[in-house]
Structure 1
Amino acid sequence: MPVFFFDGLLSPPFKHNIKIKTDTIQYYNDAKCMIISFGWEVHTAPGEAEAELAECNARGILDCVLSNNVDTLIFGAQHVACLTKPDSHKDDIIIYLAVAIENNNRLGLNHEGLILIASVSGRDYHKGIEHAGIQTGIALACAGYGSSLAAIYQQYTGEE
């Protein structure tokens, strides 16, 4: 059964340097009513819906996340289905599996590596490192720096 997730009130106020409206907008309420009328479920995350989706997928509550971007992998999702861009005139869906990305002989990117790539190249909420792009992030992650940084973080904070 499909479950539709919406951003909650604790979602960050800016995305790509654009202020996001966090107040309840009537069309969100209308969409939720329509979804419920089809017999499907609606869930409002406390904050970022992508993070909540990823957590539910990682715990096995959801089989797969259907999204228009792969940021849910960075948040820890294990299975992500992405629709191709609307302007491509294709109905293709690309499936990303965290285990396949990690086991890929050319890349071998684990979750810590994906976080490093996002941190270096920038994502929705920050610009990343100036003059460093995704290729730099991938090179650093493939060299194992994502895991090294995660280990240092865990050593000093006691968190995972």
Structure 2
Amino acid sequence: MSHNVQFIPVKPNQFEQLFEQICLMTSFYGKGVSIPHYNKFKLYDSLLNAGKVGFHAEFIYTKSEGVCGYITYNIAFTSSACGFNLYVDDIYLNSGVQRKGIGKLIIEHLQRKAKGIGSSKLMWQVAKTNERAIDFYIKQGAEITDDHLSCELAV
């Protein structure tokens, strides 16, 4: 299915719309929408102060659906790569537009972004229980590795 998909950088005056989408995504993962106010402020500040390096957010827009999701990612220097990498944080599509080819366009868009900063790869994490996403990523050519483990430490 052909889609006229656009990736529109989120502007500070569109933050509330992005935040609504993030709350929908957190509900999907069973985390509810109780994002503390200080984290909302930090997210807004990150968006406001993003340059080439740092936090980035883009709406996913189609002519037929309007804003139908978002992507967030960070561009950061990593010593292990001796350069900059693009780390995908969130890929979220509203349920009505899933399984229609937009995910492939999102991955291609992110690959172009990564190439544009001189990175040789995209990096992200996926829950082991999200089999549908894992299958999709493998079909896109992603290699699921266990080179790095997620670490969490309460503070």
Calculate the TM-score normalised by the size of structure 2: 0.32
Bigger relative contact order, structure 1 or 2, given CA contacts below 8 A and separation 6+?
Answer: 2
More helix by share: 1
Calculate the TM-score normalised by the size of structure 1: 0.31
Task: Decide which structure has the larger Cα Rg and report it.
Answer: 1
